[in-house]
Structure 1
Amino acid sequence: MKKISLFLMLSALELNGQIILNQSDFASAGDSVILSTSNATSIDFTTTGSSQVWDFSSLTPSSEYVENFTSIGFSPVQLTFGIFAPSSYQASYFIPDNSIPIDVLNGILPVNLSDVRSYQKSSSSAINKIGFSVKVNGIDVAFKSDSIEKRYQFPMVYQQNFETNGYTFIDLNPAADFKIKQYRYVTSTIDGFGQLILPNGSCEVLRLKRTILEKDSVYQTFFGSGAWFGLPVIQTFEYEWLAMDNLDAMLKIITNNSNGQNQIQSIEFQNNSNVLSLANNGYNESIILYPNPSHDILKLRSDDKLNQLLIIDNNGKIVLESAEDLNDKAINVESLSKGIYTLRVIGNEKIHFTRWIKE
């Protein structure tokens, strides 16, 4: 009876124009998206509710970067997040993370920290943050979260609410006598649905709002005797507009509460359907584009014969053309300027488009 009731509820939501998001709408290991950032400071990110139209068509990109959802493969963190870890800590992929201020820490620690990564576990019911890793003098060190923070809950529907918390203990000993206790208390609400308009077009979305209270403590022995001290509590708000089959948020705005004002910290959005997957454009055979980004050589691989490639710049000009069997052939792109290009691939009597970054 419970399953029947859930089915009827979801069917009613679809009839009312509300999309429903599941695990398959989000990234898995090996996926990548190109994200644009914006320096806008005076946009309306608070208006929400049912049947909304969020018009962000005036957003202007200030920079772009690739977010990779990377498999842990045979990395040194296998024991913590790989197949030998408990089921709840077996990561699906990792992504870069900026929640640990390594630039500040590198100014006071006797070691060098780099490449902070957040490990995520994706399942049919949720996507969870299960821990971190950081390179200490070039060596990966992993820290699992004792309390696991839930990022998304499935199925995702309008007016869904859930609370979660994350606790992670980071100990850099013996490399450095420095420890961090990170506490995060998160309330997530799907507070709106409707149409999102971006510079490149529009799509139907759900709007997710997270309210995050972070209370961290630090132990150090570099200034006076060793002692724990608490950092100021930080309140952060994350707003995400999420669409079907787009791997990541179409638009994400992060703000914090500063002197009673909700100030924008960052704006990121997917620009011009930047998902780096030819399969998502209707192609029924597997096509792999690699490396992406790349500097001098680009390759395509497919079970099908690929007959033609056009590389098109942002002005719509064809800057490189190849008309031969392209499978595993090294295409020299060294002469092209740095930037983002559109690739037009013809194979199996179909035409497909994707994006590529020249470094």
Structure 2
Amino acid sequence: MPLLFLTVALVAVAGCATSVAGHPVRQPTDPASLQVGNYQTTPRVVGNAKTGKQSRIRESQRLSDYVALPFEADRDYAFECSGDVRPHVVTNHKGLGDILINDTFDEVAHDLRGGWVDTWCTGAETEEKHRRLSIAVLELPDPDRAAAVSPTLEHDDSTYNNGNQPVSLPKYPASKAHWRPTVASIGSWTVHDRYVVYIKIVDELAAAPDLADLTGRTERMLDVALPLLDKFQPTPADKFEHIPLDPDGILGRTLPTNPELPLRPDPDGVYTGRGALQSLDSADLDFLTIGDVDLIGYGDALVFHSRTGRAARALWDKWNPAQNSPDKNRSIDPPPGFPGDVGCFADLANGQVMFHQCTFHVDKYNVQVGARNVAELYQKTAAEYVLVTSR
């Protein structure tokens, strides 16, 4: 794709030359030059939240980048657990799924501002049994509300089964926790400023329930989780109702999810870090530092923006589809006439094609696009190229 150098000129006058510093600006891509189908090719303005639910979802997405992931406390947690393909956003009791059995949650936490939950497992996905750790962070309006909500939720959680017994966390004596001595699991509730941190561990690998091991694992998770929450800046109360949904414009350059054919369980949104890992087949956060990533658009594609073109290129080198495992992926041709760095493949399971994906790099962007059939994949990939190269 040719570059237009809009601010660099060499003017020779009477044998003299003048150089004006500047940066090359890419010429916008003509949608007619690529096969984009009926997909959006003009960046859209997303605007501000219009409902309380939209505000809570956006605050949950902001919070997610400061919710510690299990592998940050213990590298044994290697993957998001199979069968847990569910939303990570918590705006009511449904967001916690079956990790919390509680029929009073919505009443007790009626003023919940948002929340986020992650569940990771140890070992390999092919194994039948795992050690499973779930961490949920709930944001309340202020510390007093968190201090009132947390013990009530723990009480309702622990008394749901009459076999539960209270236990203590030596490093966190203010936390409330419980377990059943005959079951290798533990649930704990911790108040930290305006946040309630719920951790549940289920150990299917244990030969016998080991309370010291369960409490130790819980404490190590809290050791990582609480300092991270101190770095989060909640949306001020007077801004919450109309919180910007796309303050930097990255979501406007991301294809919106088709509500009738969602590829992922969470709502479209913007992330700056950890929250985006929900859609990556990875158990590390290296992509953030290698790519110097500052914005991620999450919709019918994943759009990663780097602070510099050099960092974006480094991330492309890490993610280059040519490096994919042949037993999991099979290369396919890129979209016809597609410019620049692109690689496409069919995702395999037991030798059968399950999905198709293209990854491309241009300027400060790396983009991942997925679809169930190749024709749709090519059109979406081309449309995303137009979107990220538009001015």
Q: Same fold (TM over 0.5)?
A: no
Greater radius of gyration (CA): 2
Tell me: higher relative CO, structure 1 or 2? Use CA pairs within 8 A at least 6 residues apart.
2
More helix by share: 2
TM-score (norm 1): 0.29
More strand by share: 1
TM-score (norm 2): 0.27
